[in-house]
Amino acid sequence: MTTTKFSWETEAARYDESRGGEVRAQAAVEGIEALLPQGVGLLADVGGGTGIIGRRLRREDREVVVVDLTQAMLRLAHDRLPGRAVRARAERLPFRDGVLDAVTSVWLLHLLPDSRPVVAEFARVLRPGGTVVCTVDKDSGHDVGSDIDDVLGDLRPRRGNAVGAAEQDATERIVAHGAEFGLEPVAEGAFTARLRGTTPASLADLIRNDRYQFWTRRLTPEDKARILDELAALPDQDRKRADPTFRLLALRRR
């Protein structure tokens, strides 16, 4: 079996197109905007990648800065938000204490080895009354009750079970970190990533080429081989299953 090593630098060029593109970005922004308060003048989109979401969050009366660690992503973000794409780690943001009205973070926290220092950094850069809006329980959002999910079983995180609760972006974990650093939960929301539906063939390709790596890194080679065999045996190999719905959590700085 031939595999390629996953890298955000090489993934950047195909990231948007392979993950729902402008349609998914618009759905995410609509969900975020529903949770942002009025009067957000300065917003940082942390882990903002290519800027496809950050560009949509910009308003005439709102400045948006995209923060990411991957140079190839930031080059694309700079094209969308010239001069407003900054390279930095999420746990060391390039802002003074208490200067931001809002922080957004979409599909970042689940990637981290430890979300606590990042939540602490969100709290540091927010002014009192400022808001964080972030995705939570991301991997469990992919569990749509399809035949693909039956194949994956408990190997994929599911909200409320032991695996899901261990995720760095589990709602309970983010709320607990927030309480430690003066962030209180104020609202929840969700959005559906339209047109991204997974097929058995597309998921097998991602797994085979090490591009669906954030939960498959837990798999033994035997589990991986079994999953690929069972995916190949499913009917309708190219029929998209239901789109995932992703959860959003808003926290306010006290």
For the chain, what is the mean pLDDT? 88
Q: Which of 2, 245, 249, 250 is nearest to 130 (CA)?
A: 250
Q: Where are the beta strands (DSSP E) in the chain?
A: 42-46, 63-68, 85-87, 100-105, 126-136, 183-192, 245-253
Report which residue type is found at 161: N
pLDDT digits (tens, 9 = 90+) for 238-248: 999 999 899 99
The one-letter amino acid code at 183 reads L
pLDDT in tens, 189-243: 999 977 667 899 999 988 887 776 556 566 788 988 999 999 999 999 999 999 9
Confidence of residue 8 (pLDDT cuts 50, 70, 90): low
Considering the domain 8-144+157-197+242-253 in this protein, what is its CATH number?
A: 3.40.50.150
What is the reported pTM? 0.87
How many Å apart are CA 77 and CA 46, to the nearest integer? 12
Q: Print burial letters for 69-79: b (CB count within 10 Å at least 16), e (below 16).
A: ebebbbebbbe
Between CA 104 and CA 200 the distance in angstroms is 32
**pLDDT for res 139:** 82
Higher pLDDT, 216 or 155: 155
- pLDDT for the residue numbered 195: 62
User: What is the amino acid identity at position 235?
Assistant: P
Mean of the pLDDT values across residues 133-145? Answer: 90
State phi, psi for 62 to the nearest 5 degrees. -135, 125
The pLDDT tens digits of the residues spanning 115-133 come to: 999 999 999 999 999 999 9
Q: Is the Cβ–Cβ distance between 89 and 69 less than 8 Å?
A: yes
Residue spans per domain, the chain:
8-144+157-197+242-253
